[in-house]
Amino acid sequence: MNNKNPIIVANDLTIAYELHRERKKLVALQDISLEVAPGEFVVLVGPSGCGKTSFINAISGLVPKASGSVTVRGQEVTGPGPDRAMVFQDYALLPWRTVESNVRMPFEFQDLGISDDEKARRVKECLSLVDLTGFEKSFPYELSGGMKQRVGIARALITHPDILLADEPFAAIDAMTREAMQAEMERIVMETGQTCVFITHSIDEAILLGDRVVVISYRPGKVKEIVNVNFPRPRMSNSEVKTSKEYAQLRDHIWNLVKDEASQTNRGE
Amino acid sequence: MVATKNKSLQQFDTDDPDRIQDLGWTFKEVWRRTRGLVVTTLNLITFFILWEVFTIYGDINPLFLPKASDMFAELWVGLTTRAPEGAVFSGSILDHFLHSFNNLMFGLAIACLIGIPGGLLMGGNKYIEAILSPYVWALASLPRIALVPLFILFLGFTTTMQVTIIVISAVFPIMINAWAGVKTTEKSLLAAARVFGANRRQLYVKVVLPYTLPFIISGIQQGIGRGLIGVVIAELFGGSNGLGFLIQRSADTFNTAMTFAVLLLLIVMSLSLINFTRWLEAYVAPWRNVNHL
Ligand SMILES: Nc1ncnc2c1ncn2[C@@H]1O[C@H](COP(=O)(O)OP(=O)(O)OP(=O)(O)O)[C@@H](O)[C@H]1O
Ligand SMILES: [Mg+2]
pLDDT in tens, B56-112: 888 778 788 888 888 899 889 888 887 777 666 677 888 899 999 999 999 999 999
Q: Which of A22-36, A246-260, B54-68, B122-136 has the highest mean pLDDT?
A: B122-136
> What pLDDT, in 10s, does the model give residues B158-187?
888 889 999 999 999 999 999 999 999 999
> What pLDDT, in 10s, does the model give residues A92-138?
999 999 999 999 999 888 887 888 888 888 898 888 888 888 888 88
What pLDDT is stored for residue A74 in this prediction?
82
A176, pLDDT greater than 80: yes
What 3-state class would DSSP assign to A111? coil
Q: Residue A140: its chain B contacts at CB < 8 A?
A: 287
Confidence bin at A165 (pLDDT 50/70/90)? very high
Task: Determine, for residues A108 and B188 on separate chains, whether the beta-carbon distance falls below 8 Å.
Answer: no
How confident is the model over A32-45, as a mean pLDDT? Answer: 90
Domains and CATH numbers, chain A: 1-83+162-171+197-269 (3.40.50.300)
Topology (CATH) of B72-288? MetI-like fold (1.10.3720)
pTM of the model: 0.81
Where along chain B do its domains lie? 72-288
Ligand 1 and A217: CB distance under 6 A? no
The more confident residue out of B141 and B5 is B141
Q: Do A109 and A90 form a contact (C-beta atoms < 8 A)?
A: no
Residue whose CA is at the smallest distance from ligand 1 atom 23: A49
Residue whose CA is at the smallest distance from ligand 1 atom 5: A17
Q: Residue B193: its chain A contacts at CB < 8 A?
A: 94, 105, 109
Q: Which residues of B182-204 are buried (b: 16+ CB within 10 A; e: fewer)?
A: beebeeebbbbbbbbbbeeebbb
How confident is the model over A156-184, as a mean pLDDT? Answer: 87
Task: Determine, for residues A131 and B9 on separate chains, whether the beta-carbon distance falls below 8 Å.
Answer: yes
How confident is the model over A78-90, as a mean pLDDT? Answer: 88
What pLDDT is stored for residue A11 in this prediction?
87
Q: Give me the phi and psi of A217, to 5 degrees please.
A: -85, 170
State whether ipTM is beyond 0.95. no
What 3-state class would DSSP assign to A110? coil
What pLDDT is stored for residue A21 in this prediction?
78
